[in-house]
């Protein structure tokens, strides 16, 4: 038997793994791939976004509750998961608002990346997925997650960097998750409008800046049959996801028909692959040696 392929998803907060690439992970797990979600913070400063959960006892225990939600989502997706120990930075309400001392986004890059380098060397992923350099949206923890993911991808294979964090391991591909694209929202909006449904996407599209996408989609992973698992994982994060909110306005069956993929940008690759792709592991074989450490 060949060794399994391994995928690591690097996220800022519990719930990000279920709103970004969850169906992809569910598909690969069920195809025999080992998947590890690394969650950099505990979401301690997150607000309660589901009105049905906005109660004093929930707000007072948000960190503990979010860890429990992550456990349930992990079980639904079938992935492994670990917290890397940093404190949520919160989302500033203005550019002038300062971030709290000691939070993840204010950590020196090497300190912030060290636990992830250690996780990469232990888990030995062939592929890493994370956010683009804008964080998917400009939350300071998401932007920092991009930075530490790139640092770990580039450093984990170098035996001279991050001593004491395990034997070197070089991942082969790094992807940015591209689920929130204008093209996707336009397709869903048009499909809902044609069927006489109220669309939640019209205002978003109208406000979208008319410019080319910064990071083009290179890879579309078919995973429509796993959207139901994605939705159950999302709902497990009950403090963050309103079951009557916009995530679920477009019927799942319509999503499966109109946009049956989750989409990515190939940001780094040490293997040959032809674009566009339909598989994050295109060009990778589990038994192949990783590139020599530099």
Rounded mean pLDDT of 133-146?
91
Angle in degrees, 0-180, between the axes of helices 62-77 and 227-236, rounded to the nearest 10? 160
Query: pLDDT per residue over 85-119, tens digit each?
Result: 999 999 887 777 899 999 999 999 999 999 999 99
Q: What angle do CA 230, 13, 125 make, to 5 degrees?
A: 75
294 is in an annotated binding site: no
16 is in an annotated binding site: yes
pLDDT at position 288 is 61
d(CA 12, CA 17): 9
Query: pLDDT per residue over 43-82, tens digit each?
Result: 999 999 999 999 999 999 999 999 999 999 999 999 999 9
pTM metric for this prediction: 0.94
Local confidence band at 213 (pLDDT 50, 70, 90 cut-offs)? confident
Select from 186, 182, 184, 155 the least CA-distant residue to 169. Answer: 155
Rounded mean pLDDT of 134-158?
94
pLDDT at position 228 is 98
142 is in an annotated binding site: yes
Local confidence band at 293 (pLDDT 50, 70, 90 cut-offs)? very low
Pairing mode of beta strands 6-11, 219-222: unpaired
Local confidence band at 292 (pLDDT 50, 70, 90 cut-offs)? very low
pLDDT at position 92 is 85
Domains in the chain, CATH or no CATH each: 6-181+216-269 (3.40.50.10320)
């Amino acid at each position: 038997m060949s060794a399994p392929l391994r995928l690591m998803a690097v996220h800022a907060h519990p719930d990000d793994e279920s709103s970004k690439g969850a169906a992809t992970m569910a598909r690969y797990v069920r195809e025999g791939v080992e998947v590890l979600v690394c969650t950099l913070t505990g979401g301690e400063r997150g607000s309660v976004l589901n009105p049905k959960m906005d109660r004093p006892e929930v707000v007072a225990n948000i960190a503990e509750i979010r860890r429990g939600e992550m456990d349930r989502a992990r079980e639904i997706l079938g992935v492994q998961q670990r917290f890397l120990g940093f404190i949520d930075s919160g989302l500033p309400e203005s550019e002038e608002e300062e971030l709290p001392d000691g939070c993840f986004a204010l950590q020196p890059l090497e300190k912030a990346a060290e636990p992830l380098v250690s996780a990469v060397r232990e888990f030995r992923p062939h592929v890493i997925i994370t956010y683009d350099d804008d964080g998917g949206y400009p939350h300071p923890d998401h932007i920092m997650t991009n930075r530490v993911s790139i640092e770990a991808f580039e450093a984990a294979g170098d035996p001279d960097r991050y001593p004491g964090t395990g034997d070197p391991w070089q991942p082969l591909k790094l992807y940015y998750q591209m689920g929130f694209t204008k093209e996707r929202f336009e397709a869903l909006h048009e499909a809902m409008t044609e069927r006489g449904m109220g669309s939640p996407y019209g205002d978003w599209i109208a406000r979208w800046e008319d410019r080319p996408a910064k990071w083009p989609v290179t890879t579309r992973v078919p995973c429509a049959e796993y959207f139901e698992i994605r939705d159950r994982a999302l709902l497990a994060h009950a403090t963050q996801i309103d079951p009557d909110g916009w995530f679920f306005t477009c019927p799942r069956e319509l999503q499966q028909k109109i946009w049956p993929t989750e989409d990515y940008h190939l940001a780094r690759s040490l293997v040959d692959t032809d674009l566009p792709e339909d598989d994050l592991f295109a060009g990778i074989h589990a038994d192949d040696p990783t590139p020599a450490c530099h």
